[in-house]
Amino acid sequence: MKILVINCGSSSIKYQFYSLSESRILAKGIVEKIGMKGSFLKHEKESGQKVLFEGEILDHKIGIEYILGVLSSEKHGCISSLDEINAVGHRVVHGGEEFSTSALITDEVILALEKFIELAPLHNPPNLRGIYAIKALIPEIPQVAVFDTAFHHTMPQHAFMYAIPYALYKKYGIRRYGFHGTSHRYVSSRACEILGVDPKTVKVITCHLGNGASACAIKYGESVDTSMGFTPLEGLIMGTRSGDIDMGAVSYIMDKEKIGTKSASILFNKHSGLLGITGISSDSREILAAADKGDERCILAIEMFNYRIKKYIGAYAAAMGGVDVLIFTGGIGENSVSTRVSVCKDLEFLGIEIDQEINAGIRGEERIISKEGSKVKVMVVPTNEELMIAIDTQNIVYGKE
Ligand code: AMP
């Protein structure tokens, strides 16, 4: 069973080509700078050999043509014909209130996704472009949409509603949707697999800490709360997003700076977070390095970042009436030893005790990092959204094995 997983961003397309029955990634790569000068496709073969193709990649359809071309090319490819692709799975950011699970893409599904462009104007349009391109280029091959929002459908209403006039929820669908669902779902189920426990018996908090960051409370296998909201702007402090902020401060800034909604959106999405506080970078590696050299704003940014995560862990432990497993994932969660130490510090009262020695050696690998006797199992689980998309795609198109 060969599944192509596609993740279309505004100017990029990431892809991974799986042979699931053999647990192999046959190829992967990225198309970058779509519609810009200097666009290229970077393709990596199963052997690890990398090939670069430069070209005029004006839109997502051309990008996907490049991908299909290289996958089936004699010299660099891994299939002799495109018919060998059994299905294509797409990452789709927003599935609104309609999609509680991944879905086979039909014309009706495409119509629904077009409707959700209003809710995710930055993300759903490129996701759709990928779907249109596959439909045009290899129309017989089934496609599946895997939504970032779907996992959070189990949130109870008291967790997903905002305390604004109810009519606005009815009229515009203003509520918490949550994102990163595929990642929270993957790492929580993988952690349970590693621990040998049934997800239906444990309370889990997942911290996806990357350039985008969110936390999720997963009670007995279901998401019951998550930190991102109506958009991915709410919650934790991120690379360039503010996370939680008083709405009163937003309108005050807009008044004082005489800016409209578009500029405000750019301010809070692109110029805030770690970048906004440090004034140097959104990249935690650079910030950690500058903090080590004594840069005060970098030290502050790190303290704020960690403190916000700690608060959410406390809140979610309270929301679930306890916590059994705490998981770190995402580029920062998987790699930053000091972030994990700082976040877990003083959480012993919740039963969270990490083993400093084990933690210090863990970067980007699956591992229990809590002390032998820690009530809460603290774990590092590298995320793998692509694998989850491939598995969902196979299950939907061909049924569960
Ligand atoms: P992601 O969005 O999941 O790819 O994560 C990107 C973030 O992970 C960036 O802020 C990187 O600086 C951070 N990151 C990657 N490797 C490390 C590392 N070794 N230590 C600290 N942060 C890291």
Q: 205 and 115 in one domain?
A: no
Q: Which ligand 1 atom minimizes the distance to the CA of 282?
A: 10
Distance 377 CA to ligand 1 centre (A): 23
Token readout for 228 is 């991102």
Answer whether residue 372 is part of any domain.
yes
- The mean per-residue pLDDT over the stretch 33-58 comes to 96
**Per-residue pLDDT tens for 291-324?**
999 999 999 999 999 999 999 999 999 999 999 9
Instruction: State whether the beta carbon of 382 lies less than 6 angstroms from ligand 1.
Output: no
**Statement: residue 401 has pLDDT above 90:** no
Is residue 68, in this structure, part of any structural domain at all?
yes
Task: Check whether residue 142 and residue 226 sit in a common domain.
Answer: no
Domain identity same for 127 and 257:
no
Mark which of 112, 128, 147 sits at the end of a domain. Answer: 147
Q: Is the CB of 199 under 6 A from ligand 1?
A: no
Q: Write the pLDDT tens digit of every residue in 198-219.
A: 999 999 999 999 999 999 999 9
pLDDT of residue 122: 87
Domain edge (last residue) among 147, 182, 208: 147
Does residue 164 form part of some domain? no
The percentage of residues in the chain with a pLDDT greater than 90, rounded to a whole number, is: 99
Whether residues 222 and 143 fall in one domain: no
Last residue of a domain, one of 112, 147, 182: 147
- Residue 187 within a domain: no
- Close Cβ partners of 278 (under 8 Å, ≥ 6 residues apart): 287, 290, 295, 297, 298, 301
Q: At 327, which CATH number?
A: 3.30.420.40
Residues 373, 287 within the same domain: yes
Q: Is the dihedral of CA 255, 259, 263, 267 positive or negative?
A: negative
Atom 18, ligand 1: which residue's CA is nearest? 335
Task: Judge if 210 and 69 occupy the same domain.
Answer: no
Q: Is the pTM of this model over 0.85?
A: yes
pLDDT of residue 153 exceeding 90, the answer is: yes
Task: Band the pLDDT of 400: cuts 50, 70, 90.
Answer: confident
296 CA distance to ligand 1 middle (Å): 21
Whether residue 299 sits in one domain with residue 205: yes
Q: Quick one: 10 and 139 in the same domain?
A: yes
Same-domain status, 285 and 363: yes
- Quick one: 211 and 321 in the same domain? yes
Residue 376 pLDDT > 90: yes
Residue 264 tokens read as 């405000």
- Digit-coded pLDDT (tens) for 265-293: 999 999 999 999 999 999 999 999 999 99
Q: What is the model's pLDDT at position 68?
A: 98
Q: What is the mean pLDDT of residues 64-88?
A: 96
When pLDDT is averaged across residues 129-155 and rounded to a whole number, the result is 97
- Does residue 211 have its Cβ closer than 6 Å to ligand 1? yes
pLDDT of residue 333: 98
Q: Which amino acid is at 323?
A: V
- Residue 395 CA to ligand 1 center (angstroms) comes to 32
Q: What is the pLDDT of residues 62-71, one digit of tens each?
A: 999 999 999 9
Extended beta strands in 173-288, E state = 203-209, 213-219, 222-226
Structural domain containing residue 381: 197-385
What residues contact residue 219 under an 8 Å CB cut-off, 6+ apart? 203, 204, 320
Ligand 1 contacts CB of residue 283 (under 6 A):
yes
The yes-or-no verdict on residue 55 having pLDDT over 90 is yes
The rounded percent of the chain whose pLDDT value lies above 70 is 100
Q: Mean pLDDT over residues 3-29, rounded? A: 96
pLDDT the model gives residue 242 = 98
**Residues 168-187, mean pLDDT to the nearest whole number:** 98
Residues 6+ apart with CB under 8 A from 132: 61
In a domain, 279, yes or no: yes
- Give kind and range of the element (H or E) at residue 329: strand 325-329
Average pLDDT, the chain: 97
Establish whether residue 383 lines the binding site of ligand 1, counting it when its CB lies within 6 angstroms of any ligand atom: no
Q: What is the tally of structural domains in the chain? A: 2
Does residue 192 sit within a domain?
no
Same structural domain, 119 and 54? yes
Q: Both 215 and 285 in a single domain?
A: yes
Q: Is 332 in the pocket of ligand 1 (CB under 6 A)?
A: yes
- Any idea which residues carry the catalytic annotation? 148
User: Which of 282, 332, 341, 363 is the best mutation target for the ligand 1 pocket, counting ligand atoms within 8 Å of the beta carbon and taking the most?
Assistant: 332
Q: Is residue 295 part of a domain?
A: yes
Q: Please report whether residue 254 resides in a domain.
A: yes
